Amino acid sequence: MKLHRLAWVAGVAGLPISHYWLWAQIEPFYSSIYCFLWWSYIFAVDFAVYGLRGHSLLRDQPREFLCLAVWSVPVWLVFELANLRLQNWYYVMSPYGFSWGTLYIVLAFATVLPGIFETTSLVLAVMEKWLRGGCIRGRPFAVSQLNVGLQLALGGAMLVLMLVFPKNCFCLVWGFVYLLADPICYWVWREEKNHRGRSLLGQLAAGDNTRLVALLAAGFICGGLWEAWNLGARTKWIYSVPFFDELKLGEMPVLGFLGFPPFVLECYAMVNTLSLLRAGRNWEFSEQENRAQRGMPAWGVALSAVLLPLGILCACAAIISGGTVASYTTPLDWHFSQELGKQGVKALQERRALQGNQFLRLKARPPEIDPALFARMRRVAGMGEIKGMGLKNALALERLGIKSVDDLVRQNPVELMHELRAMDQNVRLEEVKIWIREAKRKRG
């Protein structure tokens, strides 16, 4: 069986199985459910695109599919690096250990571009089936050097404002890249008649709105799936957006859903810009069209081979050490090994209950564990699962005398943050507020 068929089978079968793992919290899949859900979705959508079009990325352009997956990591890391300044979201219950954590980050971030553009292809396939002529025509407009310059200036101004005033201009992260990248792509390829795979500006200037609509629709679809699957996950992201933090749909502030469509436009412009390194090769072209391009020049190969892995490793290190990752899935024996002893650790290993969420599902106390220790571990594990607080933070709260949801509800978030920081706990005010808010919700 060919690889693309294996991927299709894995996607179609993997989606319902992954949902079951998510619903039943089956480990070790539950703590890595993002990767299982999204890779299954990508493969299943590729199969659907093939059914509608008779061709698909995975079947007919596997190199372009792989290229999207590889470039997806540095593309998303651009926004992660911006978030080190903005602090608009953070990750909880990340896999512990730098090597495994980095591998998980790469596998997860590699889904972003394939997920977006497979969804875009599916929307385009549906439009081709149901729309007269298979496209959406609009009124063309003339593009001049002046308005290209104005777009670049606006994108640059948005970037500066976002970095200088992160609390008030954080939303500008969803748009500045498009305004900086797409005009450049247009100007480089302005002599071409067909701007498919080149620039949105060129397509709109030609009166073709098809991909704009498909990309915006894909943004809403992918955004909805990101947030729906994030809601019940253990390893997840949590938003801490100024002004709108309490008005949420799931984990996302309601108005935040408006950021997904422009984010997809940014991804489209960035991929088109990266195609300049590949002498014009692009995922939107057929294999024959890509073969007609000159191919990646030697300097492009060298740049990709050296800077891409180096940049990914550096960015992952910045994310893991820079506060974007708030907690890790450290096992119980990391924190209670002395109290448990070898027999206690072995008892938890045999019952597959080393993770806090697994430990909480034990129906009976293992006889090798002291009753008082068992009760304490259940309290700590229960606290650690509150909005992905993690065992390390739960144990710090215990040292402050905060041992239950009722204790947490009574805390002042500012004072608690300062007390935790005095104990060398790297926590932010937004995290503490979210813990207390979730404790109040649990208390009812």
Chain centre to alpha carbon of residue 166: 21
For residue 266, the model assigns a pLDDT of: 97
For residue 98, the model assigns a pLDDT of: 64
Cβ atoms 164, 249 nearer than 8 A: no
- 3-state SS of the chain? CCHHHHHHHHHHHHHHHHHHHHHHCCCCCHHHHHHHHHHHHHHHHHHHHHHHHCCCHHHHCHHHHHHHHHHHHHHHHHHHHHHHHHCCEEEECECCCHHHHHHHHHHHHCCHHHHHHHHHHHHHHHHHHHCHHHCCECCCCCCCHHHHHHHHHHHHHHHHHHHHCCCCCHHHHCCHHHHHHHHHHHHHCCCCCCCCCCCHHHHHHCCECHHHHHHHHHHHHHHHHHHHHHHCCCCEEEECCCCCCCCEECCEEHHHHHHHHHHHHHHHHHHHHHCCCCCCCCCCCCHHHHHHCCCCCHHHHHHHHHHHHHHHHHHHHHHHHCCCECCECCCHHHHHHHHHHHHHHHHHHHCCCCCHHHHCCCCCCCCCCCHHHHHHHHHHHHHHCHHHCCHHHHHHHHHCCCCCHHHHHCCCHHHHHHHHHHCCCCCCHHHHHHHHHHHHHHHC
Residue whose entry in the numeric block shows the structure tokens 């450049």: 184
Cβ atoms 307, 74 nearer than 8 A: no
> What six digits make up the tokens of 377?
């571990």
Which contacts of 37-41 are long-range, i.e. CB under 8 A and separated by 24 or more positions? 37/229, 38/108, 38/111, 38/115, 38/229, 39/10, 39/11, 39/14, 39/111, 40/10, 40/11, 40/13, 40/14, 40/15, 41/11, 41/15, 41/115, 41/225
Each residue's pLDDT tens digit, 193-242: 777 778 999 999 989 999 999 999 999 999 999 999 999 899 999 998 87
Cβ atoms 344, 322 nearer than 8 A: no
Cβ atoms 206, 141 nearer than 8 A: no
Q: Which residue has the higher pLDDT, 93 or 322?
A: 93
Q: Is 433 exposed, middle or buried (0-12, 13-18, 19+ CB in 10 A)?
A: middle
Cβ atoms 422, 391 nearer than 8 A: no
325: which strand partners? 91
From first CA to last CA, the distance across the chain in angstroms is 54
Each residue's pLDDT tens digit, 109-153: 999 999 999 999 999 999 998 888 778 888 888 888 888 999 999
Q: Which residue has the higher pLDDT, 10 or 145?
A: 10
Each residue's pLDDT tens digit, 26-47: 888 998 999 999 999 999 999 9
For residue 325, the model assigns a pLDDT of: 86
Q: Predicted confidence band at 315 (pLDDT cuts at 50, 70, 90)?
A: low
Q: Minimum mean pLDDT among 192-201, 205-214, 254-263, 289-298: which range?
A: 289-298
Residue 5 CB neighbour total at 10 angstroms: 12
49, pLDDT greater than 60: yes
The C-alpha atoms of residue 276 and residue 149 are separated, in whole angstroms, by: 20
19, pLDDT greater than 80: yes
For residue 253, the model assigns a pLDDT of: 84
The C-alpha atoms of residue 106 and residue 73 are separated, in whole angstroms, by: 6
Average pLDDT, the chain: 89
Residue whose entry in the numeric block shows the structure tokens 């599916």: 122
- Amino acid, single-letter form, for residue 70: V
For residue 297, the model assigns a pLDDT of: 58
Residue 94 main-chain phi, psi, to 5 deg: -70, 150
> What six digits make up the tokens of 255?
């108005």
324, pLDDT greater than 90: no
Question: Considering the entire predicted model, what is its pTM?
Answer: 0.92
Q: Predicted confidence band at 180 (pLDDT cuts at 50, 70, 90)?
A: very high
Domain boundaries, the chain: 3-321, 333-443
The C-alpha atoms of residue 157 and residue 170 are separated, in whole angstroms, by: 13
